[in-house]
Amino acid sequence: MRTRFNLFLHCCTVAVLLNGCELIRRKDDQPLQTQAPRPVARVNDVFLYEHDLSGIVDEQTSPEDSAARVTAYVNSWIRKQLIIQEATSRMNIDEAEVERKVLEYRYSLIGYEYQNLYIRQHLDENISLKEITDYYNTHLDNFTLKQNIVRGTYIKVPRTAPRTNRIKDMIFSKKAKDLEELRSYCLSFSTVYHLSDSSWIAFDKMVVNSPIAEIPNKIQFLKTNPYYETGDNDHLYFLKVDNYKISDNVSPLEFVKEDIRNILLNKRKVELARTLEDEVYDNAVKQKSFEIFDR
């Protein structure tokens, strides 16, 4: 039975894909006598018809994917109809309230898509460093650290890796060739590494899955260990802390710069959405597209 149903759905899928071409052809030709709509599924006295499947698949979709998509849609429709009919049989439904909610949902769906299009067309994504800095200085209370962060070097290598006795020297070296050698070494042999640069990283994130992560008082550890080596049965761990910030202090600007950029972009999006509504409303007022009647 299921095989026959799936075959029928596959035929419906092909019919849906051909339907657009058929409609175009009939614009020039006199349409044939209207045929009764062909049902695809039924839940009690409510039917899903073949023409209801229009738009679910397109011509670029493979027959297998099209059949799967139609099958999923039909099964979903059946489940939703069963819930609706179960609800209406057991509840007093306020149809007017339902219609209001449907209208609100329709507005939200269509309006949301149009707002996104308008925002994509008008959004300036260039956020200057001055804008970021000004926002940071004005909202310092919003950027309190909730974790310890560090700038430094962290390397985890298997005990079997070669030249592990050179790692400390390379970490502390200021020579460009040694730093390049360290980078190359990490790419070849390390399991995890983070090399010192201007970026900040959460300390717990840096040392996750290492013996350092199990240290109970990490604040005291950071204050007293600018360099630390340890190991376990399988790996060696090397940590050099160039700078650190403790939780509950103000975050450095570099650590939250990207967060601030996203905040400012979102503010611009909200302003554009408001501008769109105002523009549409003002144009409608000028064109007398709406009126409010006395009640």
Where in the chain are the domains? 2-93, 95-142+252-295, 145-245
The series of mean pLDDT values per 10 residues for the chain, 295 residues long, is 50 48 44 72 91 82 84 92 89 85 89 94 96 97 95 96 95 94 96 91 95 94 96 96 95 95 97 95 92 84
Cα–chain center distance at 78: 30
Residue 61, pLDDT score: 78
Residue 291 CA neighbour count, 13 Å, CB half: 5
Residue 24, pLDDT score: 36
Residue 50, pLDDT score: 87
Residue 33, pLDDT score: 52
Residue 23, pLDDT score: 39
Residue 197, pLDDT score: 84
Residue 63, pLDDT score: 82
